[in-house]
Structure formats: C-alpha cells, structure tokens
Structure 1
Amino acid sequence: MTTPTVDVHAHVLLPEVDALVAGLPGHAQAKELDARRNGPMALAVNGPMVGARIPHLTDVTARLTAMDAQGVDIQLVSPSPSHYHPWTDEETAEKISRLANEATAAHCAHAPERLYGLGLVPLQHPKLVVPALEHALEQGLLGVEISSHAPGRELSDPAYEPLWARAEKTGALLFLHPFGCTLDERLNRWYLSNTVGQPTENAVALSHLIFSGVLDRYPGLKLIAAHGGGYLPTHIGRSDHAWRVRPDARGCGREPSSYLRQLYFDSLVHDPHTLRELVRAAGPDRVLLGSDFPFDMGTEDPLGALRAAHLSDADFHAVRGGNAAALLPKE
C-alpha cells in the first residue's frame, strides 16, 4: 500500500472564536498592536487575501477539492494562529481553547479519514494549559498548536514544565507556529512582519527549548516546528560554537545541533536549497510536508516544492508522507 501524502501545516478559521472575543476589553488594543506590527500596506492586502480564502478555511468540501488538486491525501488541520488571543483573561482564554478544540474537531469529523486536527492552549495562563491539552485529546484531536511565546513568558519558562511532561506522556503532537513578532514596528513595511518575523520567532522559541534543557528533560516530545524551524536549522553552527566556548550558553547537555534530530520540521521554506539543508541538518526522518494551506505565504503546490529539492527517492517519500504517517493514529 502506498504511503499517503500528508500535509502537516494547514489551517481552519473558526468564526465562533472571533465572535466570542469581539468587543471584549483588550480586543481593540490587541488589534491596534497587530496593525502597528504589520503596517497599513500589509493590512490592506491581508483583508482581501483572507476573504478570498474563506471557503477553503471553513468549508470541508472546498478543502477536500483543493487537497485533491494538490495531490494531498491527509491534512493535519490547526486553527488559524489569529485565534491565540494572548491578551485574554483566564475565563475567556479557557472558553477560547475549549471552543477552538470542539470546532476544529467538528470540522475534521466531516472527513475523518483525511483530516486530523490540533487544538489550542492558552499559554498566557500556564495553569490552564494542561487541562486544555487534555480537553483537545478528549475531542479526538492529536494535540495542540502553540505560539512561540506568551506575554512575559518564553517557552523555557518553568511554568510550562507540566505541559511538556503531559505531552510527552500522552504522545500528543505540539505544533509550534508563531503569530506576530516582538520586533514590532521595525518590521512594519514590505511585509517584514511575516517574512522576517515568523522565522525569527521560530528560531528564538526553539532556542529557548534547546538551551534551557527542555529537550533533555523530555526527549520524547513530538514537536513540529512550522516554517522549517525558521532561521535556526540552517544557522545552528553559531549556536554550537557558543555552546562550546561560552559557559553561559551551556544550559543544555550537548551541542544544540544534536537536538534538531529530536524535533520535526515542516518543509515550508520556499527554497529548494534551504530544504535540502534542512533535511541534512535535521535528518530526512524529521522533515514533514507542509503547505500553510490556504494562505498566500504558503504554497499551492507542496509536492512540486518538494520535488524541486531533488532529494533521493527514499528521502522524498519520507518527507512526502512516510514521516508524518508514523505520527498519525494507526488504523
């Protein structure tokens, strides 16, 4: 039997979450911050871009038709990161995670043989994170999507130790996908907020997990980094050098590059040479097909992008679906 083609980076838009937060105290300020970070030109493009993609983001039939056209058999569907809402209080944050978990599960239930889902956890309230993960798993989801940080907390914060412990014990998938970049207005032109901001946030978040020893303490974590892990995998040599020569960079037990082979990375790097280097650095068994469906910063032809890297036949099929299939529930 041929291994299915699996896209691990695909999103769903949840109008229920948007309706829940609309008009709440703090929502306007959060939108203002997002506007400052992106700049007026990006916002002018974002609205029509998302609007044109609403069917693919909300309608299962439209999603499946697009998947068929791409040659994708299975998607791992995660909520749009715009649903994180890290500004919300405990009560609202708990409602958001539960609603997102239930709505994502309901979306995937329309085609359970082709759609697997991930939920959300409110990183801004660490004591709610494990219950939110448990709720996601109870809905039949495979795990949760997490941001690169929460206000005032990095992923190295000890408050998240229960999350890593529970995710490791349950085998839950964690999909690391940033939303927004704390470089703020420095990136508010030319869509630098995304083109530079997203890979920067990925690199910072993964570095916190590596250097803090989280991956030493929880070697069984199944964590997938979006956008190929950002800048880190292809610039990991600088981290290794710092670990070797500076005692203050010795928070982890071994050279940082060795931890790349404990993580998973999607293939969405937009350059065949970079994809080849990602496969070399992380290993061909640690890279998974990803498209960022259906957004414009994704790829409409994920298999074409993978073919352009000219990997060996075995590595091509591992990235195409073999690696991801091993993470999915067995029939």
Structure 2
Amino acid sequence: MTEANPVVDVHAHALFPPIEQRVAELDAAGLQAARELEIRRNGESSMAASGQMITSRWSLLTDLDTRIEAMDASGVDVQLISPSPSHYYPFLGFSEAEQVARELNRSVMDLVAQAPGRLRGLGVAPLQHPDLMAPMLVDAVTDCGLDGVEIGSFGAAVDGGQANTVELSDPRLESFWATAEDLNAVIFLHPFGCSLDERLDRFYLANTVAQPAENAVALSHLIFSGVLDRHPGLQVIAAHGGGYLPTAIGRSDRAWEMRPEARVCLQPPSHYLRKLWFDSLTHDARQLRALIETVGVDRVVLGSDYPFDMGSDDPVHAVTSALADPAECADVLRHNAYRILGERERTPVQRSM
C-alpha cells in the first residue's frame, strides 16, 4: 500500500430510472401500495421535500459526467457505486425480484464500464427471498464482475401467505454468507425503511433515528447469532458508521457476560467490531474519532452517501478536519479501501439472464 492508492468513497449511490419503469410493468399494484404506505407513514410534506431533493440532484444520480465532475471537486478518485436503496423493492414476488435484481446488476455493470478506473460497483440481492440471495450474489460478482452486493437491514418474506421477517441471523441465509466468503465479495449493509413503529413517523425520525437503529439491530443479529464465527472471512461494510452499535457496544458485552440467551457467539460482541468495516459517515467529528477509537482506524473507510441530502457534500474534508494524524487520514481515505477492494478486476462472465 502506498500514498498512490486512490481516495475511495465506498458509499455512493446511483439511480436507474428504467428499473423503476420495469418494476411498474411487473407489479404496478405493489409499487403503488408501497408509495401510498410511504406517504401515509412519512406525510405529504416530507415526501414533497424528498421529491424536491431528488429533482435538484437528479443529474448527480443519473448522469456520468456530472458524477465525475462532483468526484473531482470533492477529491474522490473512485466511487464504489451502489443502487439507491429505493431500488430494493421488498414487495416483489420471487420471480419478479429475481428478474429485477438481474437487470439492476447489469445496469450497475454497464455504468461501471463507462468509467474504468473511476467506478467500481455493487449489485443487489433481494433479502425478502432468502433462496435468491446466494444466486443473485453470484450473478452480481461472477456474471457481472461487480465487487459484491448492497443489502438492507432486514427483509419481509412471505411464506404460504404468511409474512415473516428475514433477519441477517436467519438460518436460510447461511448459503448466502458462505458464498460471500468464498467469492470474497463485499456486502454493503445499508438500511432502507424502518421496522420500528409509527412513533418515528414525524420529524424525519424514520431516517435520523431509525437508520442508525436499523444498522445496530442488523449488525447485532450478525454478531450475536454467530454468523461471523462461522464465516470469519466475510467482508461486511456497515453504512452510517455502523449506527448506534459502536457507541453502545459495552451494553452488548455486558449482556453476553450475564445472559445465557445472548451467549451464542464465541467472543464478546466488541471482539467482532474489528471483523467488520464501517464507513466514515457519522456527521460529527467527535463521533468519527470515537468510532475509530472503538473499532480501530484500520476498520473505517470513506463514505459520503453521495449525492443525497443526508450525506456529506465534502466527505474528504470531513475526515481530514476530524483527524489530526495524516497517517490516520490516509488509512481512512485510501489504504483501508485498498485492503477491501485491492487491485482486483473482476471480469464479467457473459451468460443469458
């Protein structure tokens, strides 16, 4: 690793309008119901503000030249592109979810191919269908040449007409974790939506409070269930600095010490924080320094949430202004991402969909 390693933003999104159109063709009723639920939960004023934000940043999300200009202006050499989480479509049935995931993976592949050396890519795997997770990971990594997939914090599966939640600890995901380990694939944990109740419907709490909470819950399922014991080679990056978990890890350790039902994992939960990766998007210099103190400077990577309003418009400066040590800055901005992504170039295997 050298200072020549590029500055890599591992948390950068893209929007693919043709995919939304495809979903409307496949399940118009499901898409409409999801939109109505979002309006009911968030309120019309919040939805209007979100719509205005997306409109004002549309070219940043969809136009390659605008993206590259923004990267250059902020000092980012490489973006690890992931689809906007609005592309998760958790309401889709099995066959529709598979079709959309394949098309979305190829959309990311095509975007990355237009900017070699500047863009890397993550696909998707539909968490609401555990049996699709491993095949869609293979589709993204092997067939499309991407670095891994982006997943949410939970999925809502439907089995025999009955809804049930798919947590990251779900035994049905074992083949997914094993495949991810075998492929050395990046798994980018990025919540979307809120499994908490209507108490968070006001004041944008479904984002400001729920997203860090969803990160903490999802990571806790990974840790406490022993997934990281069974698959120690996993490359999981947690968005938003891992949410609330790093700041409250002492309570998790206490539960592991005192409660038998919390002692499934082999080591105290704090041990596993150094097995995970965390992006730098904490919105607070003190919190970024606290995150580094808790998990180690070698486990934190640059993340911006480009180009959304809850992201950082100047992510490199956010790191350099928070950390006084140039070596620590270089680790977060450059070297740690190199350890995850390296110089590997995955070659897509051309197969029919």
After TM superposition, the score normalised by the length of structure 2 is 0.92
How far is 1:311 from its partner?
4.1
Counterpart Cα distance in 2 of 1:30 and 1:37: 11
Give yes or no for the alignment of 1:289 onto 2:302.
yes
Q: Does the Cα contact within 8 Å between 1:119 and 1:136 map onto a contact in 2?
A: yes
Partner of 2:185: 172
Counterpart Cα distance in 1 of 2:93 and 2:38: 18
How far is 1:50 from its partner?
0.5
Give yes or no for the alignment of 1:158 onto 2:171.
yes
Partner of 2:23: 21
Q: Greater CA deviation, 28-37 or 222-231?
A: 28-37
Counterpart Cα distance in 2 of 1:277 and 1:223: 20
Counterpart Cα distance in 2 of 1:321 and 1:327: 11
Output aligned runs, 1:132-211, within 5 Å. 132-137=136-141, 138-151=143-156, 152-211=165-224
CA offsets 1:72-95 (integer angstroms, 9 cap, x no match)? 000000000000011100111011
Partner of 2:161: none
Counterpart Cα distance in 2 of 1:39 and 1:201: 21
Partner SS, residue 237 of structure 2: strand
Partner SS, residue 90 of structure 2: coil
Output aligned runs, 1:104-115, within 5 Å. 104-115=108-119
Give yes or no for the alignment of 1:117 onto 2:121.
yes
Give yes or no for the alignment of 1:253 onto 2:266.
yes
CA offsets 1:145-199 (integer angstroms, 9 cap, x no match)? 0000001111100000000000001100000000011124211211111000110
Partner of 2:160: none
Give yes or no for the alignment of 1:39 onto 2:43.
yes
RMSD: 1.1
Q: Greater CA deviation, 255-264 or 37-46?
A: 37-46
Q: Which runs of 5+ in 2 are unaligned?
A: 157-164, 345-353
CA offsets 1:186-237 (integer angstroms, 9 cap, x no match)? 1121111100011010000000000000001001000000000000011111
After TM superposition, the score normalised by the length of structure 1 is 0.98
Counterpart Cα distance in 1 of 2:116 and 2:303: 19
Partner of 1:299: 312
How far is 1:33 from its partner?
2.1
Identity of counterpart residues, as a percentage?
A: 55
- Amino acid aligned to 1:142: D
Partner of 1:11: 13
The count of aligned residue pairs is: 331
Counterpart Cα distance in 1 of 2:268 and 2:41: 34
Q: Does the Cα contact within 8 Å between 1:225 and 1:266 map onto a contact in 2?
A: yes
Q: Does the Cα contact within 8 Å between 1:37 and 1:180 map onto a contact in 2?
A: no
Partner SS, residue 264 of structure 2: coil
Counterpart Cα distance in 2 of 1:161 and 1:145: 17
Q: Greater CA deviation, 67-76 or 246-255?
A: 246-255
Counterpart Cα distance in 2 of 1:12 and 1:123: 20
Q: Greater CA deviation, 6-15 or 31-40?
A: 31-40
Partner SS, residue 35 of structure 2: helix
Counterpart Cα distance in 2 of 1:182 and 1:55: 31
Q: Greater CA deviation, 289-298 or 180-189?
A: 180-189
Q: Greater CA deviation, 7-16 or 181-190?
A: 181-190
- Amino acid aligned to 1:324: A
Q: Does the Cα contact within 8 Å between 1:94 and 1:128 map onto a contact in 2?
A: yes
- Residues 173 and 145 of structure 1, relative CA distance in 2, 3 Å threshold: same
Give yes or no for the alignment of 1:216 onto 2:216.
no
Q: Greater CA deviation, 312-321 or 202-211?
A: 312-321
How far is 1:329 from its partner?
4.1
Q: Does the Cα contact within 8 Å between 1:187 and 1:193 map onto a contact in 2?
A: yes
Q: Does the Cα contact within 8 Å between 1:199 and 1:230 map onto a contact in 2?
A: yes
- Amino acid aligned to 1:141: L
Output aligned runs, 1:69-88, within 5 Å. 69-88=73-92
